[in-house]
Amino acid sequence: MGPAAHPDTQLLIDVCSIDSIWGRERELAEHLADELRAWGCDEVQLVESMPGRPSVGARLRGSGGGRSLVLNGHLDIYELSNDWTRDPFASALEDGPDGPRVYGAGIADMKAGTAAALAAVRRVAQSGQRPAGDVIFQGVSCHFEGGVGTRSLCSAGFVGDAAVDCEPSSNTIGIAHRGAAYLTITTRGKQAHTTYKHLGLNAIETMEPILAGLRRLESELPYEPHPLLPGGPILNIGTIVGGTKHNQVPDRCTISLDIRLLPSQDPYDVKARVEAMVERVRLEVDPRIDAVVEFSEHWLSGPRHAYEIDAHAPVVEALDAAVRSVTGADPVYQGVPFWCDIVALKDFEVPGVNFGPGDPPYNFPDEYVFEAQYLQAVDVYEAMIREWCQ
């Protein structure tokens, strides 16, 4: 039997116990809408971000005259590893050698941040002391499509004067994050039976020198170093699909790429450089190559541009003050290595900053967060609401 759960921790356990794997966000969105209404939020709405995939927006109206604040967290989580040793949706608080941990599917990325934002909204709603400005909660689906859920809630009117994105950052302040270029490369060949291979063209074979070229290109892409985002661009070849049967010469081979970029890099320029590399390989290595480079559908649904906000922007300084008031220490500033929805918020003229519980590698078997880190995030979000909205 684990330790008794703090009410805010129980909220996290409840959120993690509902399956919201990418594409299955509805049950959690509907549950949160009911909770937000019960807590006294003045406006709660389910918005269909994509068919069958609602996001939930809520507004706690202030007493008037203050600045409004958005707290943003995504509901969708990644598919789970086969290496879990416990029921991923039987979320639980358990003692650990380094303090109590809360286990659950998607808890580090990012149900802990989303639940912490909810807990802060609940505290304020039930305190009897409304801040001057509105508090807006965005529980978004379709995050992995490039902030589609955030954009749909903003379009529905759930916007504010500033935002805190609650993505996992080990409770450090994130004022910059990487962008991404999601690309596919398809080589085209000609199908034939194995016994007549010479009459076909093997698309997997013509992909081989492109794979080698990509490994070289990762270190050749130009960039300006960033003090909060160490290292250069990161290129991952995520999937490869080709052929139909073992005895057929494959006429198509497709790979998917995830190239993580620094603020100095432009996804369209990177795509052009990949295309130039493919052409160079065709001319120098294998003239049979017939290939096309495209942005993937997951990038086109919401382009992943990098983000940066000035450390002296009002929302950053307010979060800095909130962290100091809770921890009694100087905040740590650290770049966020992945893409966040603050880009989508920026498109609606809402400046944002990131702060959230959860540690690397974020998606892992028997995923957990430290309870103390989670509860600290709740305290920071509540202090931020008081700091900003008054």
Cα(248)–Cα(224) distance, integer angstroms: 46
SS3 category, 385: helix
Q: Is residue 356 within 8 Å of residue 112, measured between CB atoms?
A: yes
Which residue, chain included where needed, has tokens 């209404």? 37
pLDDT tens by residue, 51-77: 999 999 999 999 999 999 999 999 999
Q: What gap in Å lies between CA 341 and CA 167, rounded to an integer?
A: 9
Give the count of beta carbons closer than 10 Å to the beta carbon of residue 129: 8
Residue with tokens 């369209």: 268
Q: Domains, the chain, ranges and CATH? A: 7-176+306-389 (3.40.630.10), 179-300 (3.30.70.360)
Distance from first CA to last CA of the chain, Å, rounded? 42
Residue 69 to residue 60: CA distance in whole angstroms: 10
Phi and psi angles of residue 144, each rounded to the nearest 5 degrees, phi first: -70, -10
> Which helix (H) or strand (E) covers residue 272, if one does?
helix 267-284
Q: How far from the centroid of its chain's Cα atoms is residue 174's Cα?
A: 13
Which residues, including other chains, have CB under 8 Å from residue 382's CB and lie 6 or more apart? 120, 123, 124
Region 322-338: mean pLDDT is 97
Candidates 307, 230, 220; CA nearest to 269 is: 220
Task: Grade residue 3 by pLDDT with cuts at 50, 70 and 90.
Answer: low
Which of 173, 149, 115, 150 is CA-nearest to residue 353? 173
Say whether 132 sits in a helix, a strand or coil: coil
Contact 253, 170 (CB under 8 A): no
Is 90 exceeded by the pLDDT of residue 5? no
pLDDT range class, residue 1, cuts 50, 70, 90? very low
pTM: 0.92
pLDDT of residue 209: 98
Q: Per-residue pLDDT averaged across 109-134, rounded?
A: 97
Nearest one of 26, 67, 73, 72 to 50, comparing CA atoms: 26
Instruction: Supply φ then ψ for residue 204, to 5 degrees.
Output: -70, -40
Question: How many distinct helices (H) and strands (E) make up the chain?
Answer: 10, 17
Mean pLDDT value of segment 92-110? 96
List C-alpha distances in Å: 240 to 197, 203, 255, 278.
Answer: 21, 12, 4, 16
Nearest one of 356, 345, 377 to 136, comparing CA atoms: 345
**Of 337, 331, 378, nearest to 357 (Cα)?**
378
Query: Confidence band (pLDDT; 50, 70, 90) for 4?
Result: low
Q: How many CB atoms lie within 10 A of CB 49?
A: 26
> pLDDT by residue (tens digit) across 138-192?
999 999 999 999 999 999 999 999 999 999 999 999 999 999 999 999 999 999 9
Cβ pair 278, 167 in contact under 8 A: no
Q: What single-letter amino acid sits at 248?
A: Q
Dmax over CA atoms of the chain, in Å, equals 79
Q: How does 317-351 read in b/e, with b if 16+ C-beta sit within 10 Å?
A: ebbbebbeebeeeebebbbbbebbbbbbbeebebb
pLDDT digits (tens, 9 = 90+) for 195-240: 999 999 999 999 999 999 999 999 999 999 999 999 999 999 999 9
The per-residue pLDDT for 309 is 98
